[in-house]
Structure 1
Amino acid sequence: MPSEEFVRGMLYMSLTIVGVPGNTAVILAFLLLLYHENRLLPADAIVLHLACVNLLVVGVRCLLETLASFRLASIFGDLSCKAVIFVYRTSRSLSIWLTFVLSAYQCLSIAPPGSRLASFRVIVANYLGFVFLFLWIINTCLSSAAVLFSFGTQKNSSLINHGINVQFCYVHFPSKLSKQANGAAQVGRDVVPMTFMTLASLMILFFLYKHSQQVKGLRSGGGGFGGSERRAAKAVVALVTLYVVLYGVDNGLWVYTLTVRKTMTSSLISDLRIFFSSLYAALSPYVIIASNRKVNGRLRCAAQEKTVK
């Protein structure tokens, strides 16, 4: 096995080993919470949805890349390439948008009582199912180009300047304009929620600072939000920071692939992009486990019950 494929396989395997158990644990914790309490709070439903799409990112792309890199399975034909790239791009973009929804909802949750932001939280909570459906429809449509232009083998070499090599699959665009248009759509799809979630995080930090100033020198919280809400707010800010750093690198590499010539000659840039974007999906559940008492508590209870049995 060439050293390049071995390194690639080890990188994807590390993401799989870290990401699959982490996201599975978060999903299990919320399912146990739903079973015992018969309901989930809106913020919990968003986090559960986020863990599910992150599991898709890691399981569908990283696991299959690991199997192919170590030549354990030959699974990347035309049809499978279309399916893998489509599911990966859809779930990846959903992960971004759900992180924005989580940050926005948390911002509304800690807004001053009686403000317009606080009242808008009730509306978002009531229509959260429609928000999920809308995001699925939009991101599915934006990923449709993957079905049209993905192949398991490299096509006509004259299209080399209009294609992207993603190691086991090739994405061929009919023209330079279509390639750049698709790339611009993907960048916009990422930059828009990134901008909004950054603004929401800054507002969260502002509310936290304002509240700390109000209760400074006092023994009580003075009617402000409690410790659990502060922890949740800080966890959301941590997730957004993790996203901005990793997806910032990812989108920087994506812009590079759109501007440089003959990107089909090497899959290194595509491998780095997939690694950094999947790294968020692999690490984010551990931020959730460490900061969310509900998740932590349910996992501990499940572990104790298993030990007793």
Structure 2
Amino acid sequence: MINSDAWTRGMLFLTLALMGIPGNGAVIYAFLSAMCHEGHLLPADAIVLHLASVNLTVVGVRCLLEVLATFEIYNVFNDVGCKAVIFIYRTSRSLSIWLTFVLSAYQCLSIAPPGSRWANARVLVARYLGAIFLALWLINTSMSVAPLMFAIGAKNDSKLIQNGINVEFCFLAFPSKFSRDANGGAQVGRDVVPMALMAMASLIILVFLYRHSQQVKGLRSGGAVTAGRQGQSAERRAAITVVTLVTLYVLFYGVDNGLWVYTLTVQQTMGSSLISDLRIFFASLYAAVSPIIVIISNRKVNGQLACGNRPKTLSDPIQPKV
């Protein structure tokens, strides 16, 4: 019989799945539809498309499996299945973080004045975006190899004594406390570095937009004010989206990593705990909520979802780079 706490836990993860899977699927559909109609995607749109794809994997893999665990369906995977599922989840989770950083960095470069060194850097990023995606995949897959070595099925729980990590449907059985802590420290470092960089990029964007708004306020001619308001509106929309995504990252993954550090530094048993559930919840929350922000703020996504076959005309408003 499932108690009330377990039922609540299961409903929370089911809610994340019901938000994240359709949400990310809608963003993916919108950009693929736009690419079919226009023949290409802007670099920022390609980044968001890639981000939605890995977020869909994060929500689809982890949240649905947590729902199964709530109903005490643990022995879903054997050792090979556990290795594959946890490897895919961890790789997708880390890619979600780094792609958010890439998006914020590209938006930061997009505000650079034409002809400057940073504007040239933006051109290079756009030109070699495929290589950047490949590099991120290689780096993050190489940092997610621990499950391939240490993940085992839940039916082997009798083998685990002190240095394992319970992920509900599988276990990570590290050979020593040092290897467990080293793996955890590498994960924290992998998350903290892009967090600091994307926070810096967002701060630069906000400072630029503040200065730009002050300059627009100084314009007094009617035509100049109108043009300034149009440009300011598009820039503000793009800035709000980027800053919101970064804020969500810092909030959700900050809590996740804080709890992860706590679990590494405090003696604990292998059983399921509130801290473990909170970690998983906050680690999945960004992947479930971020597509909602994109759908609300991105005009291209809005247009494709509202009327996927509407042809683009010259009178369409300029899309913000989100």
Give the Å deviation of 1:80.
2.0
Query: Which amino acid letter does the alignment assign opposite residue 94 of structure 1?
Result: L
Q: What TM-score, normalized to structure 2?
A: 0.89
In structure 2, the CA distance between the partners of 1:223 and 1:58, relative to structure 1 (3 Å rule), is: closer
Query: Which amino acid letter does the alignment assign opposite residue 125 of structure 1?
Result: A
Aligned partners of 2:275, 2:291: CA distance in 1, in Å? 26
What's 2:258 paired with? 252
Aligned partners of 1:159, 1:60: CA distance in 2, in Å? 24
What's 1:96 paired with? 97
- Is the 8 Å Cα contact of residues 19 and 283 (structure 1) preserved in structure 2? yes
Aligned partners of 2:216, 2:285: CA distance in 1, in Å? 38
Aligned partners of 1:204, 1:259: CA distance in 2, in Å? 37
Aligned partners of 1:232, 1:288: CA distance in 2, in Å? 10
User: Is 1:46 aligned to residue 50 of structure 2?
Assistant: no
User: Is 1:2 aligned to residue 2 of structure 2?
Assistant: yes
Calculate percent identity across the aligned residue pairs.
67
Please identify, of 205-214 and 218-227, the stretch whose mean Cα deviation from structure 2 is larger: 218-227
In structure 2, the CA distance between the partners of 1:64 and 1:238, relative to structure 1 (3 Å rule), is: same
Residue 265 (structure 1) aligned to one of 264, 267, 271: 271
Matched residue SS, 1:151: strand
- Is the 8 Å Cα contact of residues 167 and 271 (structure 1) preserved in structure 2? no
What's 1:75 paired with? 76
Residue 228 (structure 1) aligned to one of 234, 247, 266: 234
Aligned residues: 305
Please identify, of 155-164 and 192-201, the stretch whose mean Cα deviation from structure 2 is larger: 155-164
- Is the 8 Å Cα contact of residues 5 and 69 (structure 1) preserved in structure 2? yes
In structure 2, the CA distance between the partners of 1:224 and 1:208, relative to structure 1 (3 Å rule), is: farther
What's 1:30 paired with? 31
- Is the 8 Å Cα contact of residues 65 and 169 (structure 2) preserved in structure 1? no
- Is the 8 Å Cα contact of residues 69 and 168 (structure 2) preserved in structure 1? no
Aligned partners of 1:271, 1:204: CA distance in 2, in Å? 35
User: Is 1:144 aligned to residue 150 of structure 2?
Assistant: no
Matched residue SS, 1:299: helix
In structure 2, the CA distance between the partners of 1:172 and 1:57, relative to structure 1 (3 Å rule), is: same
Aligned partners of 1:6, 1:210: CA distance in 2, in Å? 51
Aligned partners of 1:20, 1:74: CA distance in 2, in Å? 24
What's 1:290 paired with? 296
Give the Å deviation of 1:74.
4.9
What's 1:307 paired with? none
- Is the 8 Å Cα contact of residues 8 and 69 (structure 1) preserved in structure 2? yes
- Is the 8 Å Cα contact of residues 153 and 170 (structure 1) preserved in structure 2? yes
Aligned partners of 2:40, 2:79: CA distance in 1, in Å? 42
Aligned partners of 2:23, 2:159: CA distance in 1, in Å? 43
- Is the 8 Å Cα contact of residues 33 and 304 (structure 2) preserved in structure 1? yes
Give the Å deviation of 1:121.
0.3
In structure 2, the CA distance between the partners of 1:156 and 1:295, relative to structure 1 (3 Å rule), is: closer
In structure 2, the CA distance between the partners of 1:204 and 1:263, relative to structure 1 (3 Å rule), is: farther
Q: What TM-score, normalized to structure 1?
A: 0.92
Give the Å deviation of 1:227.
3.2
Query: Which amino acid letter does the alignment assign opposite residue 104 of structure 1?
Result: A
Aligned partners of 1:71, 1:159: CA distance in 2, in Å? 19
Give the Å deviation of 1:66.
1.6
- Is the 8 Å Cα contact of residues 30 and 295 (structure 1) preserved in structure 2? yes
Instruction: List aligned pairs for 1:237-248, cutoff 5 A.
Output: 237-248=243-254
